[in-house]
Amino acid sequence: MVVCEFPECTTFGAVIRFALELEKGAAGVYEELAKNPKAASAADTFMALAAAHTKRGDLLVHTRQQKLNEMMLEPIQDIKRESYLIDTNLPAGVDVKTGAKFAAKIEETSARFYADSARVAKSLLHEAARVMEKLGKENVANKAKLEAL
Amino acid sequence: MSEVQKNYGKLKNYVNGEWVDSESDKLLDVENPATGEIIAQMPLSTVDETKAAIELAQDAWQEWRETPPISRARIFFKLKELLELDFENIARIMVQEQGKTIDESRGETRRSIENVEVACGIPSLMFGYGLEDGAAEGIDEDAIISPLGVFAAICPFNFPAMIPYWFWPYAVATGNSYIVKPSSQVPITQNYMFRAVEKAGFPPGVINLVNGSHEVSDTLMEHPKVKGISFVGSSPIAKYVYKKSAENGKRVQAQGGAKNSLVVMPDCNMDRSVANMLASFYGCAGQRCLAGSNLILIGDVAEPFMKKFTEASKKIRVGYGLDESNNMGPVISAKSKTKILGYIDGAVKDGAKPVLDGRGIKVPGYEKGHFVGPTVLDHCTPDMAACKDEIFGPVVTVLRMKTLDEAIDFIHSSPFGNAASIYTQNGKWARDFRYKTQCGNIGINVGIVAAMAYFPFAGYKNSFFGDLHGQGQDAINFFTDRKVVITRWY
């Protein structure tokens, strides 16, 4: 099981750190699913999703490094950490349907996190908000993909 | 987040393309202001070492000025790439030695790199100008922009990465050689960044780093081969640097202290304004020369605004900057903390009401850190020292006034003229404020008026001594002169 450490989302950096933990968690769950013999029929899909989440992590690191404007470092006081925690403790030996349902919950929570973060980031950094909106939309698309399995 | 290293040992100077041990046996401890641990030792380089560095920089200059601007720019492109690779380490080291939060450190690292990016455009930025038949028929006149020789920067503690980059990339890109003297309180970041400078490929002697204190500074200000000095620090020292360097025939740009007021008009967007002001008052623990200090509330906005502002201030998380959730770190030193607490004590004694008192803050696990919590002093009066002096800490002095003109008059009563901001949705008020206020950096619904690399970092009155500022075209003009050539061919 991949272990995530979710910080309090009180700064731009902490929001990005939270997002990175979401991506790490999601990628870890998909990797486990891809290795699970009972879910072998969807292994390629799970592998692709794991890779996509890892790549999203790179985008977040890039955003943090390139888009942060020192002038706009306002404290963030209205994103509650507890509302977006995800479960990465995938039960052993699940079938495709159960595994997809488990992962879909992560996608759903992530989508909500990115939508809410984008709303907050809009007043700080428009460019970062755009990235978060994009990631949230991808979460929604991923969830739909999982539900079709 | 983890520290890059626990201890950085004895720092070296970077002179003539080599890392060298100082011959001085005098060392200054560098303290982590959050933990109280000693994390490095900085040598107090000698007068002779400084003179030697100046001579070597002078020797390197001739060949460097003959290097085509496009070739010089290529080294800056390489430097940018290297600094991007070291980005997170630079930011983390800065947290360790300066105390600011990791986000603030990342923001500062970004700003340093932005100055390198601007310097990359030097072939276009240092064009001269010419006029055919400018002098008379058949006689042309041209102005050529030329470098001058050796320049130096004497840097402060509050921005260990960025402030040297307001100056040296422009100086070196325009064809000068350079000596950076980092702050003796925060030398590690700049020493670390010089690893990238070393790898970028500048010829030996073109860019140098000399650690030390006033012996180094005085030598730089006195030496006849140094053409100009850039300085950032307090106003009394800025004035001293300006005077001493000018007496020795040098160009000077000396940025001093500040006492910045943020004016809140009754029609402001309250939620957005409060959030923005928190960053201004408490960012970098109030140790920015652009930090908000006086909060001026106009008319009947005072009561509702204070309620929101105080509630939001209470939520500021204080702690070690390497915890990404913290909004504010410690101040730089025990001495600084004592000074800040003295101002709070004085204001309270004079009748200010502490609606939020950061004097007794305890940060678990960091008992040796120099923390001061967010402090809001309501019902201050213009005559209080806390409203007039630069406190350089997370202290908000609240003044209630009737009109915008009263606020502007108050701002003008200060010997400082660094920055001032207004929060309003009214274009007329904003325009009046921009037009009338005698400060170098004006914010309209922006509390940290930090000029980007391609604009000058301005400042009026005792906040700046000199005429050409750091960054942008001002910096290019400071580090060059205009040579006029009149040509006639028979």
Mean pLDDT of A36-44: 95
Beta-carbon separation of B279 and A75 below 8 A: yes
B333: CATH: 3.40.309.10
Q: What's the whole-number average pLDDT of chain B?
A: 98
Beta-carbon separation of A10 and B111 below 8 A: no
Mean pLDDT of B218-229: 98
Same domain for B294 and B320, yes or no, is yes
Q: Decide if B474 is inside a domain.
A: yes
A117: CATH: 1.20.1260.10
What band does B125 get if pLDDT is binned at 50, 70 and 90? Answer: very high
In chain A, residues with a C-beta closer than 8 Å to the C-beta of B318 are none
Q: Scanning every residue of chain A, which has its alpha carbon at the shortest distance from the alpha carbon of B277?
A: A74
A70 pLDDT above the threshold of 80: no
Q: Decide if B4 is inside a domain.
A: no
Beta-carbon separation of B101 and A72 below 8 A: no
Beta-carbon separation of B275 and A13 below 8 A: no
Percentage of residues in chain A having pLDDT higher than 90: 87
In chain A, residues with a C-beta closer than 8 Å to the C-beta of B101 are 11, 13
Beta-carbon separation of B446 and A64 below 8 A: no
Beta-carbon separation of A66 and B283 below 8 A: no
Q: Decide if A2 is inside a domain.
A: no
State the best of B166, B325, B457 to mutate against chain A, taking most chain A CBs within 10 Å: B325
Same domain for B295 and B229, yes or no, is no
Q: Scanning every residue of chain B, which has its alpha carbon at the shortest distance from the alpha carbon of A12?
A: B103
B63 pLDDT above the threshold of 90: yes
Give catalytic status of residue B439 as yes or no. no
Same domain for B197 and B56, yes or no, is yes
Rounded to whole angstroms, the Cα distance separating B144 from B126 reads 9
Same domain for B419 and B470, yes or no, is no
Read off the pLDDT of residues B379-437 as tens digits, 9 standing for 90 and up.
999 999 999 999 999 999 999 999 999 999 999 999 999 999 999 999 999 999 999 99
Same domain for B175 and B269, yes or no, is no
Beta-carbon separation of A68 and B107 below 8 A: yes
Same domain for B229 and B344, yes or no, is no
What is the count of structural domains for chain A?
1
What band does A122 get if pLDDT is binned at 50, 70 and 90? Answer: confident
Q: Scanning every residue of chain B, which has its alpha carbon at the shortest distance from the alpha carbon of A61?
A: B88
Q: Decide if A5 is inside a domain.
A: no
State the best of A71, A120, A124 to mutate against chain B, taking most chain B CBs within 10 Å: A71
Catalytic option among B284, B289, B387, B439: B289
State which residues form the domain around B380. 260-444
B179 pLDDT above the threshold of 80: yes
Same domain for B164 and B303, yes or no, is no
Same domain for B290 and B377, yes or no, is yes
Q: Which ipTM value was assigned to this complex?
A: 0.93
Q: Decide if B457 is inside a domain.
A: no
Beta-carbon separation of B326 and A9 below 8 A: no
Q: Decide if B162 is inside a domain.
A: yes
Interstrand relation of B251-255 and B464-466 (parallel, antiparallel or unpaired): antiparallel
What is the count of structural domains for chain B?
2
Q: Decide if A1 is inside a domain.
A: no
State the best of A16, A61, A70, A80 to mutate against chain B, taking most chain B CBs within 10 Å: A70
State which residues form the domain around A37. 12-81+90-147
Q: Decide if A74 is inside a domain.
A: yes
Read off the pLDDT of residues B102-119 as tens digits, 9 standing for 90 and up.
999 999 999 999 999 999
Q: What is the pLDDT of residue A78?
A: 86
Q: Decide if B197 is inside a domain.
A: yes
> B287 to chain A, minimum CA–CA distance in Å?
14
Same domain for B181 and B197, yes or no, is yes
Q: Decide if A65 is inside a domain.
A: yes
Q: Decide if A66 is inside a domain.
A: yes
Does this model's pTM top 0.90?
Answer: yes
Q: Scanning every residue of chain A, which has its alpha carbon at the shortest distance from the alpha carbon of B443?
A: A71
Q: Decide if A3 is inside a domain.
A: no
Q: What is the pLDDT of residue A77?
A: 85
Same domain for B228 and B298, yes or no, is no
Q: What is the pLDDT of residue A121?
A: 87
Q: Decide if A25 is inside a domain.
A: yes
In chain A, residues with a C-beta closer than 8 Å to the C-beta of B448 are 70-71
In chain A, residues with a C-beta closer than 8 Å to the C-beta of B272 are 123
> B120 to chain A, minimum CA–CA distance in Å?
17
Helix axes B102-119, B162-173, angle to 10 degrees: 10
Read off the pLDDT of residues B431-460 as tens digits, 9 standing for 90 and up.
999 999 999 999 999 999 999 999 999 999
> B213 to chain A, minimum CA–CA distance in Å?
29
A71 pLDDT above the threshold of 80: no
In chain A, residues with a C-beta closer than 8 Å to the C-beta of B283 are 73
Q: Decide if B127 is inside a domain.
A: yes
Mean pLDDT of B175-197: 98
Same domain for B314 and B419, yes or no, is yes
